[in-house]
Structure 1
Amino acid sequence: MTITLALMRRNLQVFFRDKLNVFFSLLGAIVLFLLYALFLGNSQVNSISDSLPGVPRSDVAHFMNAWMFSGIVLITTVTTGLAALSALVEDSQTGRFKDFLVSPIKKAPLVAGYVLSAAVVAIIMSTFTLVFSVVYLWAIDGHLMGTGPILRSFGYVILCALAFTALSAFLVSFMTTVASQAALNTIVGTLTGFIAAAYIPIVAFPQTVANVVSALPWAQGGMLLRREFASEALASITASDSGAEESLRSGFGLDLSVGSWEVPALFTIFFLVAITLLFTGIGAARIRSRIS
């Protein structure tokens, strides 16, 4: 345990010392914020306002802001853990593994040090993003999330960070150079916003694509966060039209369906736990086989 903690401390220092790496780990979330602020946000607010005459535009804007920030938090849980695993690829490429193995360090604590430090990075960065989002929504829209939604969101952040870091460990186990790792970071950072239905609402997808996206863990993790961020705002703007609430919940990913099956929140939680356990085991086994 002492060895694992020492390696975690070293990997955390390596990640946070590289300010550019920290910035690029948040690039997907920053891109979403800019896309919404500069291009997508106004059109989405106009579209919903037109369909809900009499509802104050400020309330509609709050719903869209809450929806957008839930996507930002979700993307952060994916990209930061992946970026933190760059230490693993760099150590492999530079032959630093051999230096570690010269000392009396077994492979298991070494693997645990890489995977756990990446998970800690994801949790720290995602928690920071969650706090920033809550404060931003309060400062800009004048709406402060309740204690319950904030605490549940924090729990979902931890769950998503663990699950997506485990998936990232599996993917990174195939990377042999820093350049390939950087390319993977770029691809994942770009695609996550789409497969999590964060860049555009799921209602904009063709039905077949929407079914596929809804079956993926990224959209389902986003669903959990969207419910905490945006359910109250949505209920407020559709108080006089329950049909509109149901339509917007499914259209903006607060409720997900695969065909005629509506994805339950409890299923998503167990799904993410299963991903954490399965891919932590597979990823750790593959990383262990590379250390020689």
Structure 2
Amino acid sequence: MSAFLILVKRNIKLFFKDKGMFFTSLITPLILLVLYVTFLGNVYRDNFTSLLPDTLQLSSGLIDGLVGGQLVSSILAVSCVTVAFCSNFLMVQDKVSGAIKDFRIAPIKSSVLSLSYYMATLLSTLIICLIAMGFCLAYLAVVGWYLSFADVCFLFLDIVLLVLFGTALSSIINFFLSTQGQISAVSTIISAGYGFICGAYMPIYSFGETLQKIISFLPGTYGTSLIRNHTMQGVLAEMKAQGIPEAGMKELRDLLDCNLYFFGHQVDLPAMYLIVGIAVVVLIMLYVLLNKCKKQK
């Protein structure tokens, strides 16, 4: 246990000591927030208002609250995974520098070594994502606050769960990397592509039917929906109270990806938690197994 704690402390210290890596990871969610507000805010607002009947008039604050919740959920859903990849690049850098060879010949179990990287990445990513969550909640407080205390608590739980998933996923992918060029390539691909396949950048309904079915198998999609539900639950409840019928609310929740469907069957929130949780456990076990096989080889 002492070796595990020493390695975790060492990895976290090296990550925060690398100012370039740390600030890049921290600034990424903030840049996304600025870009979303600047370029996508009006698009989301126009798409929503075009769906409203002429007889229904909602306040601008309510609409801004809905748009803000959608923007914030997209940012947090993407950041929990992309930041994990940045935090986990220390594992690859140890391969580049040769430090990993010293660890592997030392009397340290492969499982301890692999889990120390995982835990250090988890804690570093969680710190950055919680800071990003604070900025996002401050933004919602400005444009329109409809979150309850329970919503904030569940949002925190969603972020923790999605960071666990992102860390496990990055650990497996980074396991096969060994050069700085590979780090840059993977970072670019993940940053550009993950937001689309998890439904953060574009609503799932906008994809083709075949692609929708493929995306329904990805755990990250359900993580994004969990965050969407808890950032927009309050504002959706207020809209229903102001006169939007139940059928209209269901259609709206479908369009916002608050409701997800697996081959026509709606997936409820407990099932979403279960899907992401099982994915985390399976990925961690696979990651430890890969390291164990590497040690034996």
Is 1:43 aligned to 2:43, yes or no?
A: yes
Change (3 A) 1:258 1:31: farther
Is 1:248 aligned to 2:249, yes or no?
A: no
Is 1:275 aligned to 2:279, yes or no?
A: yes
> Partners of 1:126 and 1:194 in 2: how far apart?
20
Moved more, 235-244 or 148-157: 235-244
What secondary structure, in the 3-state scheme, does the structure 2 residue paired with 1:215 have?
A: coil
Specify the alignment match of 1:74 in structure 2.
77
Report if aligned partners of 2:146, 2:235 keep a CA contact under 8 Å in 1. no
Report if aligned partners of 1:115, 1:166 keep a CA contact under 8 Å in 2. yes
Alpha-carbon shift at residue 201 of structure 1 (Å): 2.1
Alpha-carbon shift at residue 237 of structure 1 (Å): 2.8
Specify the alignment match of 2:58 in structure 1.
55
Change (3 A) 1:102 1:248: same
What secondary structure, in the 3-state scheme, does the structure 1 residue paired with 2:216 have?
A: helix
TM-score (norm 2): 0.90
Give 1:109's match in structure 2, choosing from 102, 112, 116: 112
* Aligned residues with identical type, % of pairs: 25
Aligned pair count reads 291
Alpha-carbon shift at residue 28 of structure 1 (Å): 5.8
> Partners of 1:200 and 1:32 in 2: how far apart?
14
Is 1:222 aligned to 2:215, yes or no?
A: no
Specify the alignment match of 2:149 in structure 1.
147
Specify the alignment match of 2:166 in structure 1.
164
Specify the alignment match of 1:22 in structure 2.
22
Specify the alignment match of 2:198 in structure 1.
196
Change (3 A) 1:135 1:290: same
> Partners of 1:189 and 1:27 in 2: how far apart?
13
> Partners of 1:279 and 1:115 in 2: how far apart?
11
Q: What whole-Å deviation, never above 9, does each CA across 1:202-231 have from its counterpart, x for those lacking one?
A: 232223222322331111001111111002
Change (3 A) 1:30 1:190: farther
Alpha-carbon shift at residue 31 of structure 1 (Å): 5.5
Alpha-carbon shift at residue 96 of structure 1 (Å): 0.8
> Partners of 1:237 and 1:35 in 2: how far apart?
27
Q: What whole-Å deviation, never above 9, does each CA across 1:146-185 have from its counterpart, x for those lacking one?
A: 2111111111111111122112111111112122122112
Letter in 2 for 1:80: V
Give 2:291's match in structure 1, choosing from 284, 287, 292: 287
Give 2:187's match in structure 1, choosing from 180, 185, 188: 185
TM-score (norm 1): 0.91
Is 1:33 aligned to 2:37, yes or no?
A: no
Letter in 2 for 1:37: V
